[in-house]
Amino acid sequence: MSSVADEVKRRRTFAIISHPDAGKSTMTEALALHARMISEAGAIHGKAGRKSTVSDWMEMEKARGISVSSTALQFNYTPAGWSDDDEPAVINLVDTPGHADFSEDTYRVLTAVDAAVMLIDAAKGLEPQTLKLFQVCRHRGIPVITVINKWDRPGQTPLELIDEISERIGLTPTPLYFPVGIAGDFRGLLDRRTGRYIHFTRTAGGAKIAPEEIMDAEAAAAREGDEWVAASEESALLTEMGQDHDQELFLAGETSPMIFSSAMLNFGVRQLLETLVELAPAPAGRTDLDGTVREPTDPFSAVVFKVQAGMDASHRDRLAYMRIVSGEFERGMVVTHAQTGKPFATKYAQAVFGRDRSTVDTAYPGDVVGLVNATALAPGDTLFNDPRVQFPPIPSFAPEHFSSLRATTADKYKQFRKGMDQLDSEGVVQVLRNDLRGDASPVLAAVGPMQFEVVTARLKSEFNVDTVIDPLGYTLARRTDAESADELNRQRGVEVFTRTDGALLALFSDKWRLQYIEKEHPDLTLEPLVATA
């Protein structure tokens, strides 16, 4: 039996941060292919006659007992060079919902990971959703590995992409692998640390792991000619500019190891997995409210980072996802919920561990476990086994969508108020109030508009209140203070609110309005809200 320390050492828990369409799903599938969880890729890029990826995973789950949920994917991986006697690395990939379901949960996921992979489309460069997620990583000190994807299609040059990242977000890319062949002509990767060349061969439809041929510089030059020379020269230039990998700077969030890939062709995917295992940090301790660090090898503790409520009235199920911080988790264990002091039985934990219930009985720091019937749990809550521990709450994140909410009839005010308090405490949405609008029509602030739909659906199903949402003409918020509030309220296109946690937020119609006011009134307190504690 292995110790908790050994289990921690072999774990890597990460999320992919990207803009919709950069290739997150395709990359997830490619990673699963390389980890041999699935035998063939292609479902996501729509090859007819293949099963959907999700059901492939379910099949794998049944056959091998791999734990799968839409929230976290766990797989084993044995890097090249590890012997068969070594226990494989355990990789947890926690999903960051995007597209229409981009919400505060997407940011909260980042409180549950130890590293992030920033996946960028080679043609598009940095895109808005990636930037927002990156800011949260930076704020939380999460180290970032950069992957330039879709190198099989025309795009920018490597140096353009590297410059864009350095200049726009102040993160210095330190490529580990440099592409040989321009975007659209992806031949292979120059391994900058060994100087060797990895040549890839396409497989039909990119369904299988791409065969690799590894050769020295001389053989590479003979094979790829000018393309190899160009890659070598640019790589040497990066070395001159000090852009070689440095583990300390990477962990400090100053530099980012970079890889070029084609998730669709499975090029660069093995390199990403090896980089995660080699460079990304294993689960570390977490500081509690008292400032004491709960080390991974301490008794069991976990943080809830996401709660899904059934929106169907007949199905009031609540599913809470926890990330294990310390100790060994065993299915069936009774733990303590720090916020209420009450016991919490985990006998249903296995339901989302996977279909093959008998195979997954234990989990370790870095792992994500789903708990059903978790009515008392909210994001940020702590579960523990003695000694007692409570971790700081998850901060709220900068909202960008604002709507007022009211009940369609006045007679249900009590239920309306009760429902709002409940949803507010669960972190479903941020609730803002001011005297002008009164209690009957609070303003809801969200990261994504889907959060409003959850509010109206749950008020209806759980509190039996019909509500209407009226979008407001505000698009951004700044934190302010009582001294600045009066002046701000006098401005056109600005309104000040108190959030439930006491923070004063000024909402602005657009960034030009904000810039104008900042210029006219430089003394006002207006701080950006990336993540506020």
263 lines the binding site for ligand GDP (CB under 6 A): yes
CA dist 30 and 269 (Å) reads: 7
Q: Is 79 annotated as a binding residue?
A: no
Residue 245, helix vs strand vs coil: coil
- Counting residues that bind ligand GDP (by CB under 6 A) gives 17
153 lines the binding site for ligand GDP (CB under 6 A): yes
Under 8 Å between Cβ of 380 and 394: yes
- Give the interface segment with ligand GDP, choosing from 22-30, 351-359, 447-455, 502-510 (CB under 6 A): 22-30
Peptide bond into 154 cis (omega under 30): no
CA dist 1 and 385 (Å) reads: 21
Comparison of 186 and 329: residue with beta carbon closer to ligand GDP? 186
Q: Is 226 annotated as a binding residue?
A: no
Q: Is 86 annotated as a binding residue?
A: no
The upper half-sphere exposure of residue 313, i.e. CA atoms within 13 Å in the direction of its Cβ, equals: 9
Comparison of 264 and 503: residue with beta carbon closer to ligand GDP? 264
152 lines the binding site for ligand GDP (CB under 6 A): yes
CA dist 495 and 474 (Å) reads: 9
Amino acid at the residue 507: L
Contacts of 273-278 with C-beta under 8 Å, sequence gap 24+, read: 273/31, 273/34, 273/35, 273/77, 273/79, 273/91, 274/79, 274/80, 275/145, 275/176, 276/12, 276/14, 276/91, 276/115, 276/117, 276/145, 277/12, 277/77, 277/79, 277/89, 277/91, 278/79
CA dist 533 and 519 (Å) reads: 27
User: What residues contact 49, with CB distance under 8 A and at least 6 apart?
Assistant: none
For 212, other C-beta atoms within 10 Å of its C-beta total 15
149 lines the binding site for ligand GDP (CB under 6 A): yes
Comparison of 158 and 379: residue with beta carbon closer to ligand GDP? 158
Residue of minimal CB distance from ligand GDP? 23
406 lines the binding site for ligand GDP (CB under 6 A): no
Comparison of 73 and 496: residue with beta carbon closer to ligand GDP? 73
Under 8 Å between Cβ of 153 and 123: yes
- Give the interface segment with ligand GDP, choosing from 226-234, 256-264, 293-301, 311-319 (CB under 6 A): 256-264
17 lines the binding site for ligand GDP (CB under 6 A): no
189 lines the binding site for ligand GDP (CB under 6 A): no
Residue 423 Cβ, how far from ligand GDP at the closest point, in Å?
29
44 lines the binding site for ligand GDP (CB under 6 A): yes
- Give the interface segment with ligand GDP, choosing from 18-26, 431-439, 448-456, 463-471 (CB under 6 A): 18-26
262 lines the binding site for ligand GDP (CB under 6 A): yes
Comparison of 98 and 393: residue with beta carbon closer to ligand GDP? 98
User: Based on the number of CB atoms within 10 Å of its own CB, is 446 exposed (0-12), middle (13-18) or buried (19 or more)?
Assistant: buried
Of 2, 3, 5, 20, which lies in the binding site for ligand GDP, with binding defined by CB under 6 A?
A: 20
Of 13, 17, 25, 274, which lies in the binding site for ligand GDP, with binding defined by CB under 6 A?
A: 25
264 lines the binding site for ligand GDP (CB under 6 A): yes
Instruction: Give the residue ranges of the annotated binding site for GTP.
Output: 95-99
Instruction: Give the residue ranges of the annotated binding site.
Output: 95-99
Binding site for ligand GDP (CB under 6 A): 18, 20-26, 44-45, 149-150, 152-153, 262-264
